[in-house]
């Protein structure tokens, strides 16, 4: 052995075999539910200008403050190089909004419904259900402010989980962040309300103390029991919310009810990213307990303008595959039948066996012929004995073995063996392809 072996970077995985089967199933399920709702796939670059994320997510968001995978721009030095540099996308909404603006859709075709599936990157300490590179499925709809669009987006998220086998305990928790002006007002009254709790002898936890200045809204979803008590009587956003946002929220809930979804008003849902306005929601599966949150999203009516485009409303969500995989494992999902075809693709249909070394070349030629006809064929490359080749054939999961011996080869024939039924027949080599296709 040479040098120390390399290992994958922290928070990443090599996907192969059974894990890859599951990921592929998630991907196809995602694109199916998005496509039937009329959403088009979009593939944006894996990295963008760092400025893009700072602008869209907010300088003070945790993602921007400490979770960005950034690289400096060449030709510049120090802080300027980082400021002008690039960042591996930590989420998908900013990129799609950028693509929307750049593509000139606001003028040509303002209503755009897009989805994406792909890797995202966050530079944080990995733990259960969290990775530095993870796959995400997301949906973004630009150009309409109708509450029915909000509910359509929620419906896609729910459908995704239903297709994966989650039952009707799935629920949608909703809240509203109001419009920008509403949030400004609300943040002021919240600061006033919590001001006395921030005094020296406060019972408030240390985290809340720092949240007070960074993002007051977060005090509301603190999990500390004492803090929850102290949140009693805190001003409600709906008290200061404008009529437009308030009625949008009511319509949104009405639409969800029309879709037959289980809806729960949850004022503690406060998204961490700056761009959310009005609708925010999470899809939960309560049997999962502490990890019941499967997906989050909401409306971002100011984002496109923030990206330099015309004022354009938008709404979307994203699902991380990592927590989804965790949830599926806990629930013994998906059903084996859902994965059967993907698993089948990993197996060869035919395994080629050479009785002795003299037949190996001819066998290889025959196998290649089958492959060119679209039949997957595996065979031995390591000079294994006949017995060992059959062992391999058995282990490979191939339904058929083709066995080439001296006597058959002389007569341009070959043995076709059904591995399950253990039956064999000798057929002409020219008839092999037809025989396999018939079977």
Residues in contact with RNA by the rule CB under 7 A: 1, 7, 9-11, 61-63, 91, 122, 124-132, 134, 136, 207, 211, 218, 222-223, 271-273, 293-296, 318-320, 322-323, 355-356, 382, 384-388, 390-391, 393-395, 401, 403, 405-408, 415, 417-420, 422, 424
β-partners of residue 113 are 141
* Min separation Cβ 385 and RNA, Å: 5
Nearest-angstrom CA–CA distance, 192 and 303: 28
* Min separation Cβ 247 and RNA, Å: 26
* Min separation Cβ 173 and RNA, Å: 12
Nearest CA among 56, 68, 120 for reference residue 94: 56
Tokens matching residue 299: 């409306």
Nearest-angstrom CA–CA distance, 257 and 274: 28
Is 106 or 190 the residue whose CB approaches RNA more closely?
190
β-partners of residue 173 are 264, 282
Q: Reading across the β-sheet that carries 277-284, which strands appear in turn?
A: 40-41, 112-121, 133-142, 314-320, 293-299, 277-284, 171-176, 263-265
Query: Is residue 311 helix, strand or coil?
Result: coil
Nearest CA among 258, 281, 257, 261 for reference residue 175: 281
Radius of gyration of the chain (CA): 29
Nearest-angstrom CA–CA distance, 428 and 413: 4
Is 252 or 276 the residue whose CB approaches RNA more closely?
276
Is 107 or 206 the residue whose CB approaches RNA more closely?
206
Nearest-angstrom CA–CA distance, 362 and 365: 5
Is 151 or 389 the residue whose CB approaches RNA more closely?
389
Judging by DSSP bridges, how do beta strands 171-176 and 277-284 pair with one another? antiparallel
Is 176 or 322 the residue whose CB approaches RNA more closely?
322
Are 245 and 176 in contact by the 8 Å Cβ rule? The answer is yes
* Min separation Cβ 370 and RNA, Å: 18
Is 105 or 131 the residue whose CB approaches RNA more closely?
131
Is 191 or 218 the residue whose CB approaches RNA more closely?
218
Nearest-angstrom CA–CA distance, 114 and 304: 14
* Min separation Cβ 75 and RNA, Å: 27
Is 151 or 318 the residue whose CB approaches RNA more closely?
318
* Min separation Cβ 318 and RNA, Å: 5
* Min separation Cβ 225 and RNA, Å: 12
CB neighbour list of residue 296: distance below 8 Å, 6 or more residues apart? 271, 280, 281, 282, 283, 317, 318
Is 163 or 246 the residue whose CB approaches RNA more closely?
163
Q: Which residue has the tokens 């080629």?
A: 352
* Min separation Cβ 110 and RNA, Å: 25
Query: Is residue 382 helix, strand or coil?
Result: coil
* Min separation Cβ 36 and RNA, Å: 22
């Amino acid at each position: 052995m040479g040098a120390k072996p390399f290992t994958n970077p922290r928070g990443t995985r090599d996907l192969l075999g059974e894990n890859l089967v599951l990921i592929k199933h998630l991907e196809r399920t995602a694109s199916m539910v998005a496509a039937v709702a009329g959403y088009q796939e979009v593939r944006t670059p894996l990295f963008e200008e760092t400025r893009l994320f700072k602008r869209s997510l907010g300088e003070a968001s945790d993602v921007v403050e400490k979770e960005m995978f950034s690289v400096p721009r060449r030709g510049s030095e120090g802080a300027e190089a980082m400021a002008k540099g690039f960042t591996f996308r930590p989420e998908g909404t900013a990129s799609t909004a950028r693509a929307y603006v750049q593509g000139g859709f606001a003028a040509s075709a303002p209503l755009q419904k897009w989805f994406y599936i792909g890797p995202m990157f966050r530079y944080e300490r990995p733990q259960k259900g969290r990775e530095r590179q993870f796959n995400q499925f997301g949906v973004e709809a630009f150009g309409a402010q109708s509450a029915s669009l909000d509910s359509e987006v929620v419906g896609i998220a729910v459908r995704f989980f239903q297709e994966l086998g989650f039952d009707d305990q799935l629920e949608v928790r909703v809240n509203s962040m109001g419009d920008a002006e509403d949030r400004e007002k609300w943040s002021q009254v919240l600061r006033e309300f919590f001001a006395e709790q921030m005094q020296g002898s406060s019972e408030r936890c240390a985290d809340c103390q720092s949240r007070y200045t960074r993002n007051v809204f977060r005090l509301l979803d603190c999990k500390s029991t004492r803090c929850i008590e102290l949140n009693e009587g805190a001003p409600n956003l709906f008290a200061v919310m404008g009529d437009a946002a308030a009625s949008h929220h009511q319509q949104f809930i009405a639409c969800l009810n029309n879709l037959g979804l289980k809806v729960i008003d949850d004022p503690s849902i406060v998204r961490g990213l700056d761009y959310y306005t009005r609708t925010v929601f999470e899809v939960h599966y309560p049997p999962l307990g502490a990890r019941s949150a499967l997906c989050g999203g909401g409306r971002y009516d100011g984002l496109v303008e923030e990206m330099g485009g015309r004022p354009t409303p938008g709404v979307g969500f994203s699902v991380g595959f990592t927590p989804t995989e965790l949830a599926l494992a806990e629930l013994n999902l998906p059903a084996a039948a859902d994965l059967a075809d993907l698993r089948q693709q990993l197996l060869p249909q035919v395994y080629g066996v050479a009785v002795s070394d003299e037949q190996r070349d001819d066998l290889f030629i025959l196998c290649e012929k089958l492959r060119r006809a679209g039949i997957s064929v595996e065979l031995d490359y390591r000079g294994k004995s006949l017995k060992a080749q059959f062992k391999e054939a058995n282990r490979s999961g191939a339904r058929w073995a083709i066995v080439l011996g001296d006597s058959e080869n002389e007569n341009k024939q070959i043995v076709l063996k059904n591995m399950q039924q253990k039956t064999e027949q000798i057929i002409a080599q020219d008839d092999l392809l037809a025989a396999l296709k018939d079977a």
